[in-house]
Structure 1
Amino acid sequence: MSDTRELVIIGGGLVGMTLALAAAKQGIASHVVDMADPAALTADGFDGRASAISTASWNLFTNIGLADRLAPQGCPIASIAVTDGMKPGRIDFQPEPHEGSLGVMFSNRVLREAMFEAARDEKLIAWHAPARVVDRQRGPHGVSVTLADGQVLKGRLMVAAEGRRSPTRDEAGLKLAHWDYKHRAIIVGLDHEKSHDNVAWEIFYPAGPFALLPMLDGPEGQHRSALVWTVSEKDAAGVLALPERAFCAEIESRMNGMFGKVTLNSQRSSYPLSFQHTVRMTGERLVLVGDAAHGIHPIAGQGLNLGLRDVGTLVEVLTDGMRIGLDPGDAQLLKRYERWRGLDTFSVSLACDSITRLFGVPGRIPSAIRRLGMAGVQRISPLKQFFMNEARGVSGKLPELLKN
């Protein structure tokens, strides 16, 4: 007997698995297929990546039952400091006490562990991993994927959640606007002498932003942060090859020694930076979520949060439609999802791209103009509040799952 489910989600990463869990809470069953071995993804030292979970995204995790598993392992972001090369004129984003934090920092490994644990307990999720899709079929009456072992999974709607290089998106012919920044993000975990005081730092240099993100203290009380350091592609190999002492000295110099002596607590890794945004987010019985639809610069830490807004929106659209008897793959529902998400994802993507280019202009005069503008934002409360609401993900029309 065929196990036909409402969703066939291709990609079981942070966005794809959150979608499966959120859908299950609404009674929507899914197949989740991922090429990676879950054990490898949660192994110690798999990667040093961390994610800033916005207020709205934390509401989503709360509403689907992940918050209790995650809360003890997250570091709240009390404020965000934005500066042009550590020069005077910075912006300090600090919410009012009743607004809570600006977000919570988690290692991606912690997020994966919580999601995978929840998925194993959920009967409405059929998890196939590691597994490779060798054939995809979409038609008027349903969808199916064939795995390398010959197993055929059937559903009503196919969801591409495979990330930036989504073969499902490419096979469907959904076109991308794309450009390469010719920069690379270097990722590493840091231990440092002085406390970060739960402040996230975004330090802009002409070569690219230098972000210090607060993490929980280590098991022996070590103060810890996650570093995302953007360098030119031509310089990346040299920076990555620096001996650890020289690498740490470069880090200390770029933060003006404000955290004291720095050491590394993870391996260095890196990935190229680019912009991409699909012209359309849907096709026949197909929908794109997360980086498969929009890949942005990590400058504001909004990439994963954009994907989680996709999740909340898609689940709400499907639930509303199925409540009145519509098929999950109904073109009306997919059109509603695309209208709802298209403008938000494009606006955030364009804003991140514009900020990257603005702060990338070298020279004393451009720096002075930027710092003058930042000083203005610091003094104008409504403008600061607007930017904080954007960072917290609470602006615009939110799906119910992302509300408190």
Structure 2
Amino acid sequence: MVKNQTRKDITADILIVGGGLNGLPLAIALADAGLDVVVLERESLKDTTVETFDGRVSAIAHASRNLFRSIGVWDHVAEKEPMLDIRITDGPSKLFLHYDHRQLGDEPFGHMVENRHLRVALQARAAELDNLTLLAPVEYDEIDRQSDGVQVRLKDGRQISTRLLVAADGRGSPIREMAGIGKVGWSYTQNGIVCTVKHEYPHQGVAQERFLNPGPFAILPMTGNRSSLVWTESTETAKKIMALDPEEFQAAMARRFGTYLGKLEVVGPRWSYPLALHQADSYVAERLALVGDAAHGMHPIAGQGLNLGLRDVAALAEVIIDAARLGLDPGSPSVLEKYQRWRRFDSLTLLAITDGLNRLFTTDLEPVRLARDVGMAAVNKMPGLKGFFMEHARGTVGVLPRLLEGKPL
């Protein structure tokens, strides 16, 4: 349950705007390490009861699972389905790339978790921490960032004083715009169609990534003989597909899905969203840090969007807590610059990789198709290189923050 709040003004070490899948993990990590944290969320949060399935599902990589486990959230997650294998194919080609989790140990590559279960788990853990204040629904009127601190006035008249403001307020991030931080990016003229499919046969924990024209068709394992489908089409084609009646939509989906899992049935809602890439010009400003979609957005081709945001969360939590333990100001320029150096290059690298993959696999030129098919087959036979790509899928490549290694702050 969300803790009740009085109408009094509030002072906090850290103020986070956005109580979603990036904002709440950061708040929990910081509060669990001893800081006083306030979270502002403009939407009315659901209580800690599971509402009706809304179709939204997230891929939680192995490293992100470590974070949730380290901050006491993972045990609260009611349902999660492990991804044991990943199979990558290119259209009709018989060549493929196969990742088997057993080549790296006993742990899966990650888990598929319905967003509703993740939200419930995060709220349950937040309610256990007396130094975490979650205000929802609430909106702010004015934000004043000065060299010595931040003052935020809420629409209900209350004022919050803090040393550091964190924007976890999404792709459109009003706080990023208010701070004058620009962004670069582009549209892919593609849309992602998302739905959940119930099937006759078990998926055995295998995730499928099929590269079709004009984009990837991902089948991701969920609990109870279900799979989450992320289906990329051109924007115009996606509009036509979304306009189909349920029977026609299912037929179009089944033609691409295939028969390997038996009879298929679309369950729950379906929706479509435009695909685009963006990168903030800076992840920090005076007394301000950006995390998650406020800082970057990427193509879903590798299913790493949320995981990229959770890497921000883990890195920012670590630099803040390390500074606080030394008696330093967590909102100082030196602390924020350390966060930016750690995260911005890593994010830019992953955005470039996913952008390049999307462009490579949406090219139908025969020499390019042949080269990528031969390349996949070659990687499949090279244990060292294949192992590197598998570690990428697990989110365990690079200099990792402690939380992503499963260590406490």
Q: Structure 2: which 5+ residue stretches go unaligned? A: 1-7
Q: How far apart in 1 are the matches of 2:144 and 2:55?
A: 36
Q: Is the 8 A contact 2:193 2:271 kept in 1?
A: yes
Q: How far apart in 2 are the matches of 1:279 and 1:271?
A: 24
Q: 2:261 matched to which residue of 1? A: 259
Q: How far apart in 2 are the matches of 1:173 and 1:45?
A: 39
Q: Is the 8 A contact 2:22 2:291 kept in 1?
A: yes
* In the alignment, structure 1 residue 396 sits paired with structure 2 residue 398: yes
Q: 1:61 matched to which residue of 2? A: 68
* In the alignment, structure 1 residue 85 sits paired with structure 2 residue 91: yes
Q: Is the 8 A contact 2:197 2:265 kept in 1?
A: yes
Q: Find the partner of 2:158 among 151, 154, 157.
A: 151
Provide, for residues 64-117 of structure 1, a one-character-per-residue CA deviation record: whole Å limited to 9, x for no partner: 0112112x5100000111111142111001122624110011011110010011
Q: Find the partner of 1:121 among 120, 128, 132.
A: 128
Matches within 5 A, 1:235-274: 235-274=237-276
Provide, for residues 348-397 of structure 1, a one-character-per-residue CA deviation record: whole Å limited to 9, x for no partner: 11101110110011244432222111111111111111111111111111
- Matched residue type, 2:29: A
- Matched residue type, 2:120: E
Matches within 5 A, 1:178-217: 178-217=185-224
Q: 2:324 matched to which residue of 1? A: 322
Q: Is the 8 A contact 1:81 1:91 kept in 2?
A: yes
- Matched residue type, 2:88: V
- Matched residue type, 1:115: L
Q: Is the 8 A contact 1:183 1:231 kept in 2?
A: yes
Q: Secondary structure at the match of 1:274?
A: strand
Shift of 1:243: 1.8
Is 145-154 or 284-293 further displaced after alignment?
145-154
Q: How far apart in 1 are the matches of 2:248 and 2:201?
A: 20
Is 31-40 or 48-57 further displaced after alignment?
31-40
Shift of 1:241: 1.6
Call closer, same or farther: CA 1:364–1:30 in 2, change over 3 Å: same
Q: Structure 1: which 5+ residue stretches go unaligned? A: 218-222
Q: Is the 8 A contact 2:139 2:155 kept in 1?
A: yes
Identity of aligned residues (%): 41
Paired residues, number:
398
* In the alignment, structure 1 residue 19 sits paired with structure 2 residue 21: no
Is 91-100 or 350-359 further displaced after alignment?
91-100
TM-score normalised by the chain length of structure 2: 0.94
Q: How far apart in 1 are the matches of 2:369 and 2:377?
A: 12
Q: 1:131 matched to which residue of 2? A: 138
Shift of 1:42: 7.4
- Matched residue type, 1:138: R
- Matched residue type, 1:111: L
Q: Is the 8 A contact 2:74 2:121 kept in 1?
A: no
Q: How far apart in 1 are the matches of 2:159 and 2:152?
A: 6
Shift of 1:250: 1.7
Q: Is the 8 A contact 2:50 2:117 kept in 1?
A: no
Is 333-342 or 235-244 further displaced after alignment?
235-244
- Matched residue type, 2:206: V
Shift of 1:29: 1.5
Matches within 5 A, 1:352-391: 352-391=354-393
* In the alignment, structure 1 residue 95 sits paired with structure 2 residue 80: no
Q: Is the 8 A contact 1:274 1:295 kept in 2?
A: yes
Q: Find the partner of 1:73 among 73, 79, 82.
A: 79
Provide, for residues 176-225 of structure 1, a one-character-per-residue CA deviation record: whole Å limited to 9, x for no partner: 111001111111111011211100111111211111100010xxxxx100
Q: 2:171 matched to which residue of 1? A: 164
Q: How far apart in 2 are the matches of 1:56 and 1:295?
A: 19
Q: How far apart in 1 are the matches of 2:214 and 2:255?
A: 15
Call closer, same or farther: CA 1:86–1:147 in 2, change over 3 Å: farther
Q: 2:234 matched to which residue of 1? A: 232
Q: How far apart in 2 are the matches of 1:171 and 1:225?
A: 40
Q: 2:4 matched to which residue of 1? A: none
Q: Secondary structure at the match of 1:73?
A: coil
Structure 1's consecutive aligned runs of 4 or more residues displaced over 4 angstroms after TM superposition are: 40-43
Q: Is the 8 A contact 1:86 1:203 kept in 2?
A: no
After superposition, the CA RMSD in angstroms is 1.6
Call closer, same or farther: CA 1:133–1:114 in 2, change over 3 Å: same
Q: How far apart in 2 are the matches of 1:44 and 1:184?
A: 27
Q: How far apart in 2 are the matches of 1:41 and 1:227?
A: 27
Shift of 1:40: 8.5
Q: 1:220 matched to which residue of 2? A: none
TM-score normalised by the chain length of structure 1: 0.95
Q: How far apart in 2 are the matches of 1:41 and 1:258?
A: 37
Q: How far apart in 1 are the matches of 2:49 and 2:386?
A: 38
